[in-house]
């Protein structure tokens, strides 16, 4: 059964309020991690950049919710006594509040998609070639989104466009914006997830307790902002079906973009503690201190694995490992330095990996 426009607006305001409340909590935690926690206080340049992005999303999210609240008051209270009623108000696509909220959504989308592309750029060791196609998608997305906002602004002067968000002249722009944003996220997310999986697989050679396979799947999904992509799929599906439920998905996607961003910051922030060491065995004691390298921070972090060996039992194996280290490192991307009693392994490609 089709959902009425006024009911869709009310449900969307309720759902958006819940999501914005969740984002407020996550934003506070993210700000504490970025600006006040002692472990990350030295990363001033990076932290300030992430803080600026998070704060921009915070401002856009609050502004979007404020406009929706104002529109609800106007529609359900002020216009409730007019012949057109609340539905007549919500059908006025050229109303400044409707145009404004869509401009804010488009800006939020570009900020979120831009960060996803930047993460892709970082995780692939700042390879510009890998982001050429996503950047093209991002630019096209911005053009389509703001063109749709323009069509909204002039719809009041065209009787054929009045009150119909699914009208022929508007639908191509909105559909293109939704599809391009989804493609940007799917392409970038897939490349990021593949890189994360590959890096985790290599690191598992030196630290076997990186987590169960199920947790690794969840880890990749969270890092790659699948929540954002799922909301875009729901938005695109409802819009192509000419359903007013697209208003619900649209207003929910606005805070979801910000939630996905802050979840990445928080996930990295709570994973900065060292992993527990392996229990000692009868032949050797292995303690690994991997400073959250497999969590992919946006900073160069060396991976150090310290191996203490009982010389009288394992000397021959140690010597053999030292002779074969160079060949093994060529395969694993690591460099081996052999001191007298300890071995320190550092990843040559421990360059800046993404949050």
Task: Tell me the per-residue pLDDT of 241-293, one tens digit each, with 9 for 90 and over.
Answer: 999 999 999 999 999 999 998 988 887 777 654 444 444 444 444 333 433 34
pTM, entire model: 0.74
CA dist list (Å): 236 to 9, 103, 231, 233: 17, 18, 9, 5
Mean pLDDT of the chain: 76
Q: Tell me how far apart the alpha carbons of residues 187 and 259 are, in angstroms, rounded to a whole number.
A: 20
> How buried is residue 260: exposed, middle or buried, by Cβ count under 10 Å (0-12/13-18/19+)?
buried
6 vs 335, higher pLDDT: 6
Taking 80 as the threshold, does the pLDDT of residue 223 lie above it? Answer: no
Q: What is the pLDDT of residues 38-65, one digit of tens each?
A: 665 556 777 888 899 999 999 999 999 9
Long-range Cβ pairs for the range 307-313 (8 Å, 24+): 307/342, 307/343, 308/284, 308/341, 308/342, 309/284, 309/341, 310/283, 310/284, 311/341, 313/283, 313/284
Would you call 317 helix, strand, or coil by DSSP?
Answer: helix
CA distance 315 to 292: 31
By C-alpha distance, which of 54, 72, 52 is closest to 12? Answer: 72
Helical axes 132-154 vs 171-203, angle rounded to 10° = 150
Q: Best-predicted range by mean pLDDT among 139-148, 210-219, 298-307? A: 139-148
- DSSP single-letter state for residue 95: S
225, pLDDT greater than 80: no
Is the pLDDT reported for residue 332 higher than 60? no
User: What's the start-to-end Cα distance of the chain, in Å?
Assistant: 42
Which tokens sit at 270? 């709570």
DSSP E strand boundaries for the chain = 284-289, 304-309, 334-337, 342-347
- Grouping H, G, I as helix, E, B as strand and the rest as coil, residue 284 is strand
d(CA 118, CA 135): 10
**Number of Cβ atoms within 10 Å of the Cβ of 77:** 10
Architecture of the domain made up of 5-269? Up-down Bundle (1.20)
Residue for token digits 């996550």?
A: 26
Per-position DSSP letters for 204-244, written without gaps between them: TTT-TTS--HHHHHHHHHHHTTHHHHHHHHHHHHHHHTT-T
Contact of 209 with 276, CB cutoff 8 Å: yes
Longest dimension (CA), the chain: 94
Q: Does the pLDDT value for residue 346 go beyond 50? A: no
Predicted confidence at residue 297, as pLDDT, reads: 46
Tell me the average pLDDT across 10-16. 96
- pLDDT of amino acid 210: 53
Neighbours of 132 (CB within 10 A): 9
CB 160 within 8 A of CB 221: no
Query: Which pLDDT band, with edges at 50, 70 and 90, does 216 fall under?
Result: low
- CA Rg value for the chain: 25
Q: What is the dihedral of CA 82, 15, 142, 168, to 10 degrees?
A: -50
pLDDT at 22 exceeding the cut of 90: yes
- Give rounded-to-5 percent helix, strand, coil for the chain: 70, 5, 25
Query: Which pLDDT does position 329 carry in this prediction?
Result: 46
Label residues 153-169 b or e (16+ Cβ within 10 Å = b): bebeeeeebebebeeee
């Amino acid at each position: 059964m089709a959902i009425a426009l006024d009911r869709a607006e009310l449900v969307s305001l309720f759902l958006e309020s819940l999501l914005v409340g969740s984002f407020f909590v996550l934003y506070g935690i993210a700000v504490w991690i970025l600006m006040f926690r002692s472990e990350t206080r030295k990363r001033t340049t990076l932290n300030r950049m992430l803080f600026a992005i998070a704060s921009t999303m915070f401002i856009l999210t609050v502004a979007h919710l404020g406009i929706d609240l104002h529109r609800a008051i106007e529609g359900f209270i002020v216009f409730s006594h007019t012949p057109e009623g609340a539905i007549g108000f919500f059908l006025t696509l050229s109303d400044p509040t409707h145009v404004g909220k869509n401009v804010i959504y488009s800006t939020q989308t570009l900020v979120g998609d831009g960060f996803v592309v930047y993460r892709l750029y970082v995780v692939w060791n700042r390879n510009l070639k890998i982001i050429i196609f996503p950047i093209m998608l991002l630019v096209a997305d911005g053009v389509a989104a703001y063109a749709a906002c323009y069509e909204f602004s002039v719809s009041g002067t065209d009787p054929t466009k009045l009150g119909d968000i699914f009208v022929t002249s508007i639908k191509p722009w909105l559909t293109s914006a939704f599809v391009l944003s989804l493609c940007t996220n799917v392409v970038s997310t897939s490349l990021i997830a593949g890189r994360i999986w590959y890096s985790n697989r290599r690191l598992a050679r030196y630290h076997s307790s990186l987590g169960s396979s199920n947790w690794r799947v969840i880890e990749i999904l969270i890092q790659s902002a699948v929540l954002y992509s799922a909301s875009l799929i729901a938005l695109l599906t409802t819009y192509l079906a000419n359903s007013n439920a697209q208003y619900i998905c649209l207003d929910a996607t606005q805070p979801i973009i910000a939630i996905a961003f802050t979840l990445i910051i928080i996930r990295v922030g709570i994973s900065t503690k060292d992993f527990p060491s392996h229990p000692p065995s009868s032949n050797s004691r292995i303690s690994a201190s991997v400073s959250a390298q497999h969590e992919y921070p946006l900073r160069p972090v060396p991976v150090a694995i310290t191996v203490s060996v009982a010389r009288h039992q394992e000397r021959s194996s140690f010597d053999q490992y030292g002779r074969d280290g160079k060949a093994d490192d060529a395969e694993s991307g690591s460099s081996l330095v052999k001191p007298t009693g300890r071995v320190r392994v550092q990843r040559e490609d421990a360059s800046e990996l993404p949050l």
